[in-house]
Structure 1
Amino acid sequence: MKKFGIIGTGIVGTAIAVSLEKVGYQCLGVETRSDYSYERFSRYLQKERLPLEQWVPEADLVFITTQDGIIHLVAENLAQRKLYKPGQIWIHCSGSLRAQILKKKPALPIKTLSLHPLQSFADVDEALQLLPGSHFGLEGEAEEEGVQIVQALGGIAHRIDPEKKPLYHAGAVVASNYLVTLASMAVQLFGLAGIPQEDVLQSLLPLMQGTLRNLDKVGLPQALTGPIARGDSEVVRSHLESIPFELEQAYQILGLSTLELAQAKMKQNSKEYPKEALLKLNELLGGKE
């Protein structure tokens, strides 16, 4: 039976602790500076809030699920106080930080692991539902053990080159955070079109969800639809003539990337993108000649 503890009882840390306990791992203790997060944690898992020295030296796995900015400080504190045992694995769940941040001194007899759930969680209940089936990015000295932990959580593991982790995290940001930004842009445009503010987002969500279903069903680039996919330059021209100046550049940048996808879709379907439309769209969207 693997023994573990959690430092930082946020949504991710809480969900991981509860999920691992359910499959036979033993949570020895938790530590957090926040009374609120500990009270929330306790509603899901009754584990005592103990000083680090009472449980860290006995744990096989130490999860540091604090805010990214203090992960290295927590690890340095453990090392300075000699709160570890040989072969112990220290784990953080940041998508942007490398596992090596946990081990400032190479001689420290622990192994490091970054275990990042590629998912967005609104609260603990949602996290518990979404962890099974989620994909995880792994890198560090304990990748093999990381695969086992991900499997215990019901997830799918992907090993990442630590040198390229910023690219991995940037991809996650584009897919998740920027999706919200795109929704905000669409909401602004619908509002300008006269749709009542209280109805705007709800009217767009089914469209966005349908697009996600298409991506799941047919993938890239086949899920692409719309005027650029059809080569309809006049529709795009009318958009650019109406869009507020502050949104125009974003529309053009996204349009150029969409134009590349549209050409790939045509080619995949054994068709050729209309040359005249390609020239007009490239000009409208500010592409290179």
Structure 2
Amino acid sequence: MRLKLGCCITHGGDTIKIGFIGPGKVGVSLAHYFTHKGIELTGFYGKTIKTTIEAANTTKSKFYNNLEDIINESDILFITTPDDIISIIDKKLSKFDLNNKSICHTSGSLSSTILSNAKNSGALIYSIHPIFAFSKKDTDLKELESIYFSIEGKVTDQYTDVIHLVRSLGNKFFIRGEQTSSLYHLANVFVSNLTLSLLDIGTSYLKELGLSEKDAIMAIYPLVQGNIKSISEKGFVKSLTGPVLRGDVVPITKHLSVLKEEHKELYKILSLNLLNLVSLKDNKNTKNLNDTQIEFINKNESVNVNKENAIKNLMNNSKKHAEIYKILGGLE
């Protein structure tokens, strides 16, 4: 399918139309964003009539109560349902002629192969995952301007409709392999869901001091925001701060004395990882390099600098860091 880009996506002069199955936060937010970018929607199909009509109305598109109709009137269909519903939708779609249709789901944990029935009915299938935490249907469109998309599916043909769709948005994207879904989703969970859990734990100690949850969140917000800004500008190694970096044994020992038992192992694991970063920062062979160069060195076996050597050098050259390493359980 060869497409042209303009104020909208076209194929042979005809506008490419996008439909959504699933009127939830992801579907409605993406629909708003697509129309904001000049992409034409057909509308929404969903299990619950009320929410589906609301989704269609808010995006100025059409409500469908018949699956065949939205298939016939759409060129690309996005399945934006919970993960466990996708295979059910796939089977329902496969009952129709899907030739010249592209079927996409937006799950980060599932590969495109979950749409195998749709593929057998003639569709091109994709997993297109927006790397963003959609917490509401009216997501700020400016926030979506900077998000990345990852794409998995048949992308060898540079003229595939979904590639042109994502390119027309102006967002950055990357291609991932069919076998990498679990690893890819794990990365997202670490930096999103597990980070949320970590922030909850951190603010719980502030609440013990008498702060409300709202005050605790607002108190840490500049700290978190500043860290993210620094990491985006300088990378992880050059953004290090705190007692592990400085080799301050006393505050770390005090932390361990007041930590709740269920948080101690987590504290030690995360602090040991910080020590690994400190070792790269302080290593004479890497301290003047940026994170990308350090990563290259660590992956290049022909260069005698890696994380294991770096941490050993740090332990040999810094008694205070060696003591911290032992306190955290890094040494027997």
Change (3 A) 1:94 1:75: same
Query: Which residue of the partner structure matches residue 232 of structure 1?
Result: 248
Q: Which deviates the most, 70-79 or 15-24?
A: 15-24
For 1:281, the equivalent position in structure 2 comes to 324
Superimposed CA distance per residue, residues 51-106 of structure 1 (whole angstroms, 9 cap, x where no aligned partner): 11123034211111111111111011110x22x33131100111100011111376
Summarize the alignment of residues 210-289 of structure 1 with structure 2, pairs less than 5 Å apart: 210-267=226-283, 268-269=286-287, 273=314, 274-289=317-332
Q: 1:147 and 1:28 mapped to 2: Cα distance?
A: 19
| Letter paired with 2:48 | S
2:55 aligns with 41
- The structural deviation recorded for 1:222 is 0.9
Letter in 1 for 2:98: K
Q: 1:75 to 1:186 in 2, by over 3 A?
A: same
Rate the CA distance shift 1:204–1:36 in 2: closer, same or farther, 3 A. farther
Counterparts of 1:15 and 1:69 in 2: how far apart (Å)? 20
Q: What is the 5 A alignment of 1:184-223?
A: 184-192=200-208, 194-198=209-213, 199-223=215-239
Q: CA RMSD in A?
A: 2.1
Q: Decide whether the 8 Å contact of 1:28 with 1:47 is kept in 2.
A: yes
Q: Is the 8 A contact 2:147 2:171 kept in 1?
A: yes
- Distance in 1 separating the partners of 2:140 and 2:50: 18
2:71 to 38, 47, 56: 56
Partner AA of 1:174 in structure 2: F
Contact 1:89 / 1:142 at 8 angstroms: preserved in 2?
no
The size of the alignment, in residue pairs, is 286
Q: 1:126 to 1:24 in 2, by over 3 A?
A: closer
Write the deviation string for residues 100-135 of structure 1: whole angstroms up to 9, x where unpaired. Answer: 111137643111111101011222332533222210
Determine whether 1:160 maps to 2:176. Answer: yes
1:70-89, aligned counterparts within 5 Å? 70-79=85-94, 81-82=95-96, 84-89=97-102
Say which SS state the counterpart of residue 116 (structure 1) adopts. Answer: strand
Give the Å deviation of 1:251. Answer: 0.6
Amino acid at match of 2:220: L
**TM-score, normalization by structure 1:** 0.90
Contact 1:60–1:88 (CA<8 Å) still a contact in 2? yes
1:219 Cα offset (Å): 1.2
Kindly state the Cα deviation for residue 9 of structure 1 after the two structures are TM-superposed.
Answer: 1.2
Runs of 5+ unmatched residues, structure 2: 1-14, 289-309
Per-residue Cα deviation, 1:201-238 (whole angstroms, up to 9, x for no partner) = 22111111111111122112111110111122222111
For residues 51-130 of structure 1, what are the structure 2 equivalents within 5 Å? Answer: 51-79=66-94, 81-82=95-96, 84-104=97-117, 107-130=120-143
TM-score normalized with structure 2 length: 0.79
Any stretches of 5+ residues in structure 1 without a counterpart?
A: none
Per-residue deviation, 1:266: 1.8
Deviates more, 1:198-207 or 1:168-177: 198-207
Deviation of residue 253 (structure 1)?
A: 1.1
